[in-house]
Amino acid sequence: MKIGEIIRHKQPDVYRKLMEIKEATKSVIHKVRINDREAERLMRHDSFIRGRGGIRQTRRG
């Protein structure tokens, strides 16, 4: 039995609130897709490096 199933049976009001929070945050989160030209432009700058399968920012700014 999963934790969600236990909460749903014992505390249905808490489960509903958790599901509302989950749906609200799901619509906010999205991934940014960039093409090769934008990736190359980012990598020319010193504050970005390519590592672990993606482009990472090394410094702020």
Total domains in the fold of the chain: 1
- Annotate the chain with three-state secondary structure: CCHHHHHHHHCHHHHHHHHHHHHHHHHHCCCCCCCHHHHHHHHHCCCEEEECCEEEECCCC
pTM of the full predicted structure?
Answer: 0.42
**CA separation for the pair 4, 9 (Å, rounded):** 9
Query: pLDDT for 5-54, tens place per residue?
Result: 999 999 999 999 999 988 887 766 667 778 888 877 776 767 777 777 77
Residues of the domain holding 41: 3-57
Of 32 and 4, which is predicted with more confidence? 4
- pLDDT on residue 54: 76
- Among left, alpha and beta (phi > 0; psi -120 to 50; other), residue 34 is beta
pLDDT at 61 over 60: no
Bridge partners, 50 (sequence order): 55
